[in-house]
């Protein structure tokens, strides 16, 4: 492993805070990562990391070296791509992406073949989860995030892509058994499938915008709490209660009559869709290109959603849950 590769490995260890996670993100053995850092320390003549059984910590020299290494690696990546930027056919290498299951299934996956056909030397690691991944520590190049950004995203670059409409849904079986709620005042007589990002957290209940545009929350009973979009939809299909989901994730089910929209005058606020990436002075050409491609795919979807309902649905890929 040459000195530049050792520097890349060291930077990955710092960013992930773990030899094991760095090895996994780089596709290397943990022993190779450890050896690369040791050889780098021997080469520069100072200890860069303090190691213990519980944690890794940068030394004072290590902190200075890491900050400079980031600049050097960014310059190197820019230099390598200097004469390839105009030639998009030369895009190659690995990217790691993350997004929610609904966005992946309904927006991105149907369009992914065109990207890979145009750039067959790209390799994409595609994560699809409702968990808010740690972009830096887990080695993601970019993520598509639904919902408001939190404190954890404060150090990342954010590119707003638009707003996803959210709808209230019930299954025909539930409606046949318990009837359809017409106003929030009737909700205490109904059941909600509670959704939380982390089990143990408290559900906000039924959220909606009132006539003045103010957001309101109505507490509701419900026997089930989930933290996954697939389980959320499955619970609604099983007749366990009402759900509030981005329309992109339930559009096919609505079109097939497996779910029905209810309380259309009391929808929750639209959810922002944001492209997040690490703060880097010079992103690799393949990352910039794929982020622009994702932004275009999302824009196409939002334009389709803005069409009349029948036309918009016909334009979308028809797939099951």
CATH code: domain of residue 215:
3.40.190.10
Q: Say which CATH number the domain at 9 has.
A: 1.10.10.10
pLDDT, residue 151, reads 74
Q: Which of 79-83, 113-117, 317-321 has the highest mean pLDDT?
A: 113-117
Single residue among 80, 103, 129 that ends a domain in this structure? 80
Please report, rounded to a whole number, the percentage of residues in the chain having pLDDT higher than 70.
89
pLDDT, residue 317, reads 40
- Are 41 and 60 in a shared domain? yes
- Are 49 and 103 in a shared domain? no
pLDDT, residue 198, reads 80
What's the alpha-carbon Rg for the chain, to the nearest Å?
Answer: 23
**Which band of pLDDT confidence, cut at 50, 70 and 90, is reported for residue 321?**
very low
The answer to the question of residue 309 being in a domain is yes
Q: Which of 121, 118, 147 is nearest to 132 (CA)?
A: 147
- Are 67 and 124 in a shared domain? no
The answer to the question of residue 176 being in a domain is yes
Q: Cα 25–9–64 angle (5° rounding)? A: 125
Give the chain's mean pLDDT.
Answer: 85
pLDDT, residue 95, reads 87
- Are 57 and 95 in a shared domain? no
> How many domains, in total, are found in the chain?
3
pLDDT at 21 over 90: no
- Are 173 and 260 in a shared domain? yes
The answer to the question of residue 321 being in a domain is no
pLDDT at 308 over 80: no
Give the burial string for 272-298 (b: 16+ CB within 10 Å, else e).
Answer: bbbbbbbeeeebbbbbbbbbebbbebb
Residue-wise pLDDT tens digits, 133-160: 888 778 788 999 988 887 777 778 899 9
- Are 28 and 154 in a shared domain? no
pLDDT at 314 over 50: no
Q: Which residues pair with 218 in a beta bridge?
A: 206
The answer to the question of residue 119 being in a domain is yes
Instruction: Name the least confident of 31-40, 96-105, 271-280, 303-312.
Output: 303-312
- Are 44 and 192 in a shared domain? no
- Are 220 and 171 in a shared domain? yes
The answer to the question of residue 300 being in a domain is yes
pLDDT at 173 over 50: yes
- Are 44 and 184 in a shared domain? no
- Are 176 and 256 in a shared domain? yes
Single residue among 52, 80, 108 that ends a domain in this structure? 80
Residue-wise pLDDT tens digits, 24-79: 888 899 999 999 999 998 998 999 998 877 778 888 888 888 878 877 776 676 56
Q: Cα 116–120–126 angle (5° rounding)? A: 50
Single residue among 80, 110, 135 that ends a domain in this structure? 80
The answer to the question of residue 297 being in a domain is yes
Please report, rounded to a whole number, the percentage of residues in the chain having pLDDT higher than 90.
41
- Are 98 and 157 in a shared domain? yes
Domain assignment of residue 217, given as a range: 166-266
DSSP structure string for 294-306: HHHHHHHHHHHHT
- Are 136 and 216 in a shared domain? no
For residues 91 and 137, the answer to whether their CB atoms sit within 8 Å is no
The answer to the question of residue 100 being in a domain is yes
Residue-wise pLDDT tens digits, 200-249: 888 889 999 988 889 999 999 999 999 888 899 999 999 999 999 998 88
The answer to the question of residue 320 being in a domain is no
Which stretches of 29-186 are DSSP H helices?
Answer: 30-44, 60-80, 101-103, 112-118, 172-178
């Amino acid at each position: 492993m040459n000195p530049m590769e050792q520097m890349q490995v060291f930077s990955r260890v710092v960013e992930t805070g773990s030899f094991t996670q760095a090895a996994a993100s780089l596709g290397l053995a943990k022993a190779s990562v450890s050896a690369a850092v040791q050889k780098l320390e021997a080469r520069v003549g100072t200890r860069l990391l303090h190691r213990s059984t519980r944690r890794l910590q940068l030394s004072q020299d290590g902190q200075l070296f890491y900050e400079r290494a980031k600049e050097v690696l960014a310059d190197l990546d820019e230099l390598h791509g200097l004469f390839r930027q105009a030639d998009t056919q030369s895009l190659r290498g690995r990217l790691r992406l993350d997004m929610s299951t609904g966005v992946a299934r309904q927006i991105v996956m149907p369009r992914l073949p065109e990207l890979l056909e145009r750039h067959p030397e790209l390799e994409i690691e595609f994560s699809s989860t409702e968990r808010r991944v740690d972009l830096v520590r887990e080695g993601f190049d970019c993520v598509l995030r639904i919902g408001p950004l939190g404190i954890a995203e404060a150090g990342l670059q954010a590119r707003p892509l638009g707003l996803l409409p959210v709808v209230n849904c019930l299954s025909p079986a539930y409606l046949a058994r318990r009837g359809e709620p017409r106003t929030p005042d009737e909700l205490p007589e109904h059941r909600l499938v509670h959704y939380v990002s982390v089990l143990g957290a408290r559900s906000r209940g039924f959220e909606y915008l009132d006539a003045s545009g103010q957001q309101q929350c109505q507490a509701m009973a419900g026997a089930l709490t989930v933290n996954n979009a697939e389980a959320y939809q499955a619970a609604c299909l099983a007749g366990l209660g009402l759900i509030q989901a981005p329309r992109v994730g339930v559009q096919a089910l609505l079109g097939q009559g497996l779910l029905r929209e209810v309380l259309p005058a009391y929808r929750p606020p639209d959810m922002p869709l944001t492209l997040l990436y690490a703060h880097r002075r010079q992103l690799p050409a393949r990352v910039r290109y794929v982020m622009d491609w994702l932004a275009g795919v999302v824009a196409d979807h939002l334009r389709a959603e803005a069409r009349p309902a029948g036309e918009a649905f016909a334009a979308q890929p028809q797939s099951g849950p």
